[in-house]
């Protein structure tokens, strides 16, 4: 799979915020993306940004690149967290930012556990 440059989003229009989650190789932060939906600076969207924890971990970077390519190839779907864009210009310095839809209710596992009494 190849990377489609149409997904490239300018890094200077992305403001990183608080950390939402962390794993062995990566972390996810809440962010604001200026104009990611309409292409102008008229609208600021809340998004989630996935990145590697250690910029020197080549395996983690390659894994995130693979995930990005799969998300591009899969396309949008109502039942998955969709790709909105990516910042790849500084990948040679270990910075790869994958911009995803923000889920205001958190991760699915925690949501189901916290609301298990309301499911039939």
pLDDT > 70? residue 120: no
Model pLDDT, residue 102: 97
Binding site residue list: 50
Residue 17 belongs to domain with CATH number: 3.30.200.20
Binding site residue list for ATP: 50
Is residue 86 within 8 A of residue 99, CB to CB? The reply is: yes
For the segment 55-89, what is each residue's pLDDT rounded down to a tens digit? 999 999 999 999 999 999 999 999 899 999 999 99
Q: In sequence order, what are the residues at sequence separation of 6 or more whose Cβ sits closer than 8 angstroms to the Cβ of residue 39?
A: none
pLDDT > 80? residue 41: no
Model pLDDT, residue 4: 85
The pTM for the full model equals 0.90
Percent of the chain surpassing pLDDT 70: 98
**Domain count for the chain:** 1
């Amino acid at each position: 799979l190849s990377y489609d440059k149409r997904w490239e989003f300018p890094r200077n229009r992305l403001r990183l915020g608080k950390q939402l989650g962390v794993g062995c190789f990566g972390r996810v932060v809440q962010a604001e993306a200026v104009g990611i939906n309409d292409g102008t600076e008229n609208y600021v969207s809340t998004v989630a940004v996935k990145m590697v924890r250690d910029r020197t971990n080549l395996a983690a970077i390659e894994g995130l690149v693979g995930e990005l390519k799969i998300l591009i190839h899969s396309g949008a779907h109502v039942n998955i967290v969709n790709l909105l864009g990516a910042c790849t210009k500084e990948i040679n310095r270990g910075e790869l930012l994958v911009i995803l839809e923000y889920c205001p209710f958190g991760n699915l596992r925690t949501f189901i556990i916290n609301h298990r009494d309301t499911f039939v």
